[in-house]
């Protein structure tokens, strides 16, 4: 290759780094397309990770002692359960004798307790216990359960006595599924009952 050709090639390769070079409109279009494509690759690589979603459902709790009220709530694929709220739409009250509890459980099959074993949401030790209308009772909060009598004080101001709700196993799922919950009044019929709304908050982890 002649010296002249070599100089032309060198100048062509270095023209984009030259201070005197002015980019053409086509250069700007090309750069924009490259940047946009790179940005999309970043978005799709991390799409939705860390994002929260929620699902809700409503059931009417049967007042009859030893009868079950079952329901399900949908969990999206690739998520973990961060929070589960029980929100009475009317006041729920136990009968007022020792053992007249209202139990709650959460599992992956009907009546199962794989995630929350059967525990008293309303723990009746001989005096009626109430879950007041509109008071949120998060049996799972920040990925964990609640201590005994956790709803009695601020910020919940709910039932005075309840048993601890302890997470038994991870609530993560790789595939879409149904979570199964159950309410059961014990010993004697509930003194008052009605509808409750359950709201589940999920976090996308992959």
What is the pTM assigned to this prediction?
Answer: 0.76
Q: What band does 94 get if pLDDT is binned at 50, 70 and 90?
A: very high
pLDDT of residue 8: 54
Between 27-31, 81-85, 96-100, 182-186, the lowest mean confidence (pLDDT) is in 27-31
Average of per-residue pLDDT across 122-138: 96
pLDDT single digits (tens) 4-63:
555 555 555 545 445 555 666 666 565 665 555 554 444 445 568 889 999 999 999 999
Q: Is the dihedral of CA 157, 161, 167, 173 positive or negative?
A: negative
At the topology level of CATH, where does 52-204 sit? Answer: Jelly Rolls (2.60.120)
Read off the pLDDT of residues 133-152 as tens digits, 9 standing for 90 and up: 999 999 999 999 999 999 99
**Confidence at residue 176, expressed as pLDDT on a 0 to 100 scale:** 97
Give yes or no for residue 163 having a pLDDT over 80.
Answer: yes
Q: Are 191 and 70 in contact (CB under 8 A)?
A: no
Instruction: Tell me the average pLDDT across 78-84.
Output: 97
Q: How far apart are CA 83 and CA 54, in angstroms?
A: 9
What residues pair up with 50 in beta bridges, in sequence order? none
Q: Where are the domains of the chain?
A: 3-45, 52-204
- Rg over alpha carbons for the chain, rounded to the nearest Å, is 29
Taking a C-beta distance cutoff of 8 angstroms, is the pair 152, 158 a contact?
Answer: yes
């Amino acid at each position: 290759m002649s010296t002249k050709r070599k100089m032309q090639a060198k100048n062509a390769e270095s023209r984009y780094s030259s201070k005197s070079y002015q980019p053409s409109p086509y250069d700007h279009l090309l750069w924009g397309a490259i940047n946009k494509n790179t940005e999309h690759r970043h978005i799709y690589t991390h799409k939705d990770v860390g994002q929260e979603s929620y699902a809700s459902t409503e059931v009417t709790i049967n007042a009859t002692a030893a009868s079950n009220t079952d329901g399900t709530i949908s969990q999206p694929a690739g998520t973990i359960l961060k929070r589960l709220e029980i929100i009475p739409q009317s006041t729920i009250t136990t009968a007022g004798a020792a053992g007249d509890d209202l139990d709650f459980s959460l599992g992956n099959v009907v009546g199962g307790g794989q995630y929350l074993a059967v525990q008293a949401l309303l723990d009746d030790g001989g005096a009626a216990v109430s879950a007041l209308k509109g008071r949120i009772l998060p049996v799972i909060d920040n990925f964990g359960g609640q201590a005994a009598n956790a709803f009695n004080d601020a910020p919940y101001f709910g039932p005075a006595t309840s048993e601890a709700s302890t997470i038994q196993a991870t609530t993560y799922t790789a595939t879409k599924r149904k979570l199964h919950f159950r309410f059961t009044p014990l010993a004697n019929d509930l003194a008052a009952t009605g509808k409750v709304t359950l709201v589940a908050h999920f976090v996308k982890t992959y």
